[in-house]
Amino acid sequence: KQEVTQIPAALSVPEGENLVLNCSFTDSAIYNLQWFRQDPGKGLTSLLLIQSSQREQTSGRLNASLDKSSGRSTLYIAASQPGDSATYLCAVRRTAGGGNKLTFGTGTQLKVEL
């Protein structure tokens, strides 16, 4: 059974700091990995999708890396802003034999302070 863990569970940083969120998964037979953002009381917004054959993906100040063999992904946020405050979730999609479903991590709650 796939298990996805995110560390740290919570993080508070001053504005402008670069930060790294970690995601690890136990079964490396994944198709892709997706990072989401969730604001309080809201749904999930997709940030980045990284395929199993890729090493990284970038979107603006966000960069996600993937090391499938070691079961790890990181989300790098450059020059953090208060508007980045949210819960960040990673989710993995298993290979085709496992069905088209996402297994989520428990999330990292980020607070960026002025």
Which positions lie near another protein, rule CB under 8 A? 31-32, 34, 36, 41-46, 49, 51, 89, 91, 93, 96, 99-107
Q: How far is the CB of 16 from another protein (least distance, A)?
A: 30
d(CA 73, CA 76): 10
Instruction: For residue 74, give the nearest of 30, 12, 21 by alpha carbon.
Output: 21
Residue 31 or 76 with smaller CB distance to another protein: 31
Q: In DSSP terms, which residues pair with 21 in a beta bridge?
A: 75
d(CA 95, CA 99): 7
Q: How far is the CB of 84 from another protein (least distance, A)?
A: 19
One-letter amino acid of 50: I
Q: How far is the CB of 38 from another protein (least distance, A)?
A: 9
Residue 52 or 63 with smaller CB distance to another protein: 52
